[in-house]
Structure 1
Amino acid sequence: MPGPPRPQDPARAHFGARLRHWRRVRGLSQAALGRELRYDHTFLSKIESGSRRPTRELAERADRLLETDGELTALWARERRTAPAAPGPPTSMPGTDAAEAMDRLLQAYTRTMAEVGGRDLIVPLEHHARTIMRWWSGAPGATSTALLVLAAGFAEAAGWAWLDGENDRAAALSWCEAGYQWATLARDPQLSARLLVRQSIVHLSTGDPETAIALAGAARAVEGLGPRTRAWAVLAEARAHAAVADARACERSLAVAERLLAHHDPADEPWTAGITDSVFALNAGTCYRDLALRGGTAFAGRSVEHVSRSLDEVPAVSEHDRVLVTIRLAGALACADQPEDAAGVLSDLLSASAGLRGWPRIGTELRAVQVHLATRWPAVGAVRELSDQVRSASPR
């Protein structure tokens, strides 16, 4: 069985994925794009696969031709600014108490992200990941492996903080790929699979479901996984299948994930404590929503049912997660042709969480639902009021 995707550089891989996305949107083959940009199509193939580094000139030309509103040029620059830096020179390894303290700190950061989001945690998470890798550079034996695992955990958290806190997919992929490399070096299958799943989710958010499916499949195939970790990978696979309207594959993956979650020992996979019934219900509801949006209207009611169940089970202290699930519920209601209920849910949310506390990814989801409502039901009073409320809440 082939190994998981291993691009030489996560920044290159992300640029290539977005170039491929825009080329396909405009209906161009690699050969046709090469002729328009005056680059050999074999060079563009290497750019899209992540094996060659793009130039600024190529990014600017592609932006103009593909009408991307400058995305590729911005991505070219941003990826160089946010990619994980090399660990730097080794520093003396502190006592074991320091590593244990860092581990407790990581758990605290993880809990905090569920409550307040990731934006304010990006800098310390990145700092801790680099610090631990400097310790690792001079550490012996078993200590070295333990530090790699810890650094990979911080890299995973940093990647997720970038996605959640800034909606910066390039930085998120860079940190998740770095973490994956460290977890693989440490021979930690659970963590390696998790970081592949994180990458799958980011690629799905960029409109690249094919890569998302490949990464989720690679995570699922990692040897030595416990059932709950494997279920996490299968859920990511289901989300990607829903994004390409493959209802049969999506439902098959959801059924597999549900069976895996029913047979596990939490003591064997302590990190998976967060994969609760609420998380499964949210993922299933999101899958059904995406299928409904792509023509499978029969799935809309199931989406509302699952997301509602998920929302009922979100802990009261997890405000960030509660806001996210509430927006998903509004999207499900919109798919079920209940515009007044959907608009009411979002209106109440905006009133209770002014500005959504600076959560860009969540704000993007909310605006997508609001635009969907305004496009389909512009004459509904609750929808008009919501649109006015969103405009008032948007920064000038």
Structure 2
Amino acid sequence: MSTDTVAVRQSWAEFGRRLRALRRSAGMTQRQLALRVGYHHTLISKLEGGVREPPAGLPLRLDVLLDGRGELLAILAGRPEERHSAPLLPATLFSTAPRDSGDPAAPQPVHHWPGRLLSCPLHSGDCEVPPLADALTLLSAADGDHGRTERWPGTEADAMHALTALIVGYTQDGLESVSTGTVGSVERVLRVVVRWAETLNRRGTLPVPQLRLAAECAQIAGWLRVERGQRILGMTWFARGLTWADVADDVVARATLLCDVCTLVRLDGDAASALAYAQELGTVDPHRAWMVAMSHLHQARARALGGDLAECRKRVVLSRRALDRLDGRDFIEAPWLGGATGRLQVEASIGGTLRDAAVITGALWVARQAVKATEAALSCLPATHRPTVLLLTLRLADAFVCSGQLDAAVAAAAPVLPEAVAADRTSVNRELAGLRTRLTTRYPGVRETRCLLEQIPYGT
């Protein structure tokens, strides 16, 4: 064995010993740590045993998650003497995903400009919002100055308020239309925030508020990419956001991002991974009722996908109990769970869960409960949120098919099919594909379904 090989093996062994010490100091098992970083627990065992090299990117996540202050990265770099003089944050923390050819040349106008900021990363409270024109001016200046904050108009607080308000506005715009301009503008804000954080880091300042905003931006950017059918880019943003949330110790951003990761892996039909991420969500902070409720809801959907009806129903009940315990802090951290919006979120999730369970088990009574929950969700939904209206209407039609009510399914689906096909959003396309499958399987050759099937393209 060569001297270089021996040195590499020794660095693996030292890495493993330090990883084990950091993990135990954090009070985590190998399985818990594996869930937090998205790998199987056997990999953590092998790393701690020093028998294999860590995958690219994992040492950084472990350093951040376990508060290693760069020690794990330094061990692999062969510079143990530099462990305690490492940069405040590793430079790789500030890399972002690549742009695509649809990135617009200028920031897009915002159609839903917020009146107030209910949660400001800098002040953690209710803050005023600058005029939209000022926010767009700052974004253009910031994007052109490559992080030179001294040339941006206004103060640090002005910049934080402007960039946060832009993300809130673009998020609302995305509920109605996932345009190329909206996607590009969100990612432009994200690049500006990350460059700002990197500049502060080089100056010796820990950029916690900026990384909190970056995590929120990444969540929105990932969701928009997924809706455009770009799931790999979406997961890239979610992964970056989770890293930034860990560094900033932002449990709210971490929980929100894990909700989206659960949805994405479920869209890929991976029930096991969806369940693992949903369980991880429940460990972020068991004392926050909204996180516990969302964990149970996502576990219910994963169990439904796996055909475990009993556990699915149990998780639905537990989610409702947790939702009944929501308090003021929960509604501040997850305002989308309050009022009609909250009822919409919950009933839509339960409707999808029960519909999936009915598909797997063939239970008509479960399908009828799915109909009831989906109808309740639609009753809470503003007509202007057309993509969500389309998604839930198609889900309702699918639940009708599963419950044996073909006429009701046709009546629900027929008016929205042309618009749904034209929308070309991942979530809507998934509902279209499911509806086509159920109609074809359960009512082959029936005259009432022929017209519907002719309007749903194969491969949606």
TM-score bucket (shorter structure): 0.7 to 0.9
Tell me the secondary structure at the aligned position of residue 138 of structure 1.
helix
Give the conservation status (yes or no) of the 8 Å contact 2:215–2:245.
yes
2: CA distance, partners of 1:119 / 1:220 = 34
Q: Aligned letter for 1:3?
A: L
2: CA distance, partners of 1:142 / 1:127 = 23
Residue matched to 1:139: 200
Tell me the secondary structure at the aligned position of residue 114 of structure 1.
helix
Could you tell which deviates more after superposition, 380-389 or 236-245?
380-389
1:342 aligns with 2:409: yes
Could you tell which deviates more after superposition, 176-185 or 198-207?
198-207
Residue matched to 2:33: 3
Residue matched to 2:122: none
2: CA distance, partners of 1:174 / 1:373 = 35
2:372 to 291, 305, 319: 305
Residue matched to 1:153: 216
Residue matched to 1:191: 253
Q: Aligned letter for 2:97?
A: P
1:385 aligns with 2:451: yes
Runs of 4+ residues deviating >6 angstroms: 140-143
Residue matched to 1:317: 384
Residue matched to 2:230: 168
Distance 1:289 1:162, change over 3 A: same
Give the conservation status (yes or no) of the 8 Å contact 1:84–1:175.
yes
2: CA distance, partners of 1:282 / 1:219 = 19
Q: Deviations over 1:332-360 (max 9, x none)?
A: 11110122321332211124x26433324
Residue matched to 1:205: 267
Give the conservation status (yes or no) of the 8 Å contact 2:281–2:291.
no
- TM-score of the aligned structures, taking structure 2 as reference length: 0.65
Residue matched to 1:102: 163
1:279 to 325, 345, 348: 345
2: CA distance, partners of 1:146 / 1:328 = 39
1:359 to 425, 439, 444: 425
2:399 to 309, 321, 332: 332
TM-fit CA distance, 1:200: 1.5
Larger relative contact order (CA 8 Å, sep ≥ 6): 1
Give the conservation status (yes or no) of the 8 Å contact 1:189–1:224.
no
Tell me the secondary structure at the aligned position of residue 414 of structure 2.
helix
Give the conservation status (yes or no) of the 8 Å contact 2:420–2:428.
no
1:227 to 280, 286, 289: 289
Q: Aligned letter for 1:5?
A: L
2: CA distance, partners of 1:4 / 1:273 = 30
Tell me the secondary structure at the aligned position of residue 3 of structure 1.
helix
More helix by share: 1
2: CA distance, partners of 1:213 / 1:119 = 32
Distance 1:259 1:224, change over 3 A: closer
Q: Deviations over 1:260-286 (max 9, x none)?
A: 211222454434222311211111111
TM-fit CA distance, 1:90: 6.7
Distance 1:208 1:121, change over 3 A: same
Tell me the secondary structure at the aligned position of residue 373 of structure 2.
helix
Distance 1:233 1:92, change over 3 A: farther
Give the conservation status (yes or no) of the 8 Å contact 2:275–2:302.
yes
1:84 aligns with 2:140: no
CA root-mean-square deviation: 3.1
Distance 1:288 1:322, change over 3 A: same
TM-fit CA distance, 1:223: 2.6
2: CA distance, partners of 1:293 / 1:215 = 23
Structure 2 gap segments, 5+ residues each: 1-27, 41-45, 47-53, 58-95, 100-142
Tell me the secondary structure at the aligned position of residue 232 of structure 1.
helix
Give the conservation status (yes or no) of the 8 Å contact 1:333–1:339.
yes
Q: Deviations over 1:33-55 (max 9, x none)?
A: xxxxxxxxx9xxxxxxx9479xx
**Identity between Structure 1 and Structure 2 (%):** 25
Residue matched to 1:19: none
2: CA distance, partners of 1:99 / 1:370 = 46
TM-fit CA distance, 1:371: 2.9
1:270 to 332, 336, 348: 332
Give the conservation status (yes or no) of the 8 Å contact 1:116–1:320.
yes
